[in-house]
Amino acid sequence: MKKSWIFIVLGALILLILLPIMGIGNYYLHLVTTTFIWVILIQGLNVIIGLTGYASVAQAAFYGIGAYSCGLLTVNLGFNPWLAMLCAILITTAAGVIIGLPALKTKGSYFVIMTLAFGTVFWILITSLYKLTGGETGFRNIPSLTPIFGIDFSNRTTYYYFVLIFAALATLFIYRLKKSKHGRAFMTIRANEMLAQSVGIPLVKYKLLSFVISATLAGIAGSLYAYYSNFISPFSFNANTSLNLLLALILGGVGTVSGPVIGAFLMIFIPEYLRVADELRLVLYGVFLILIIIFMPKGLVNIFVVAKEKILKSIKKTKQHEQSTVESPVPIEEESNNLKIT
């Protein structure tokens, strides 16, 4: 990572750490906490779409599996919330393997349809099994995480920092993954599967690994969401949520590390700020999204990249100009006894 990006990341982290201390209020604290959960979700989606090139719309279903697993294990079976969280992540990972094996045998629009079908089936199940999941009325009375070393996770500020750690670790993980041999294998598959296979990359292994990593991150996000809200509803895990996550990734920048962070903040905060427009809110929101997709197809993160390159080029040109001015020969006039010598 270049020094300029290190300073930007550290500055952003310091700002996020200081936000609760600055007294932003419970409402904005809730929005930022929700954004962190979405960062984890979108980073997972970024692995399968941005790095591997397979457009999945099942992320909301894996998100729901993580959340409902925590609720069912904690409330119905009496598991300790921490143990239930670990089990929920493992269950989501297993679901990623089970769904990924048949789905990844397809490509393109067929893969999209497969993942959409899985998400639809999951949504039908959680709305139909009323006695188990609460149906459309939702699953209630999910407890908060139990205290550890005196840390109260039912406190909103404490949970804010807890989720911030997970979001930062997920982003760091994607950064390291992208630089690793696995990440390079994913990107080779995205570029050309035949080429990837010809150089010895096992396609089934790496595509499944990508899909499972995506599902696991969604499971982590679902677990964090369940213990944060203490209530989960099927409407948080439908196809509309998957499409919003996909849109957030596109807005931020597909295949980039910082794009999911930018996209998550946009998708959470812009609809909230447009509430003042009442009936025009959805129209303005739609126009905004269309304009970004048309004029910034590489996502908003590309603006920062282009701006940085222009600034660096400007600085380089300035230095070159100063250097050439110093090195260029200048006529020297010598004076001796008030006489000009030419």
- The two three-digit tokens of residue 287, written as one number: 């126009």
Is 173 within 8 Å of 46 (Cβ atoms)? no
Q: Which CATH architecture has domain 13-317?
A: Orthogonal Bundle (1.10)
Cα–Cα distances in Å, from 73 out to 85, 88, 276, 300? 9, 8, 40, 40
Buried b (16+ CB within 10 A) or exposed e, 269-305: eeeeebeeeeeebeeebeeebeebeeeeeebbbeeee
Sequential pLDDT tens for the chain (342 residues):
566 667 788 888 899 999 998 888 899 999 999 999 999 999 999 999 999 999 999 999 999 999 999 999 999 999 999 999 999 999 999 999 999 999 999 988 999 999 999 999 999 999 999 889 988 889 999 999 999 988 999 999 999 999 999 999 999 999 999 999 999 999 999 999 999 999 999 999 999 999 999 999 999 999 999 999 999 999 999 988 998 999 899 888 899 998 999 999 988 988 887 776 666 666 777 787 788 777 777 777 777 767 666 776 777 777 776 777 666 555 545 444 554 444
pLDDT of residue 87: 97
The pLDDT of residue 331: 54
Q: How far is it between the farthest Cα atoms of the chain?
A: 109
pLDDT of res. 88: 97
Enumerate the domain spans of the chain. 13-317
Residues 6+ apart with CB under 8 A from 45: 56, 59, 214, 218, 245, 246, 249, 260
Q: DSSP assignment, residue 336? A: E
**147 dihedral zone (left: phi>0; alpha: psi -120 to 50; beta):** beta
pLDDT digits (tens, 9 = 90+) for 281-317: 667 777 877 887 777 777 777 777 676 667 767 777 7
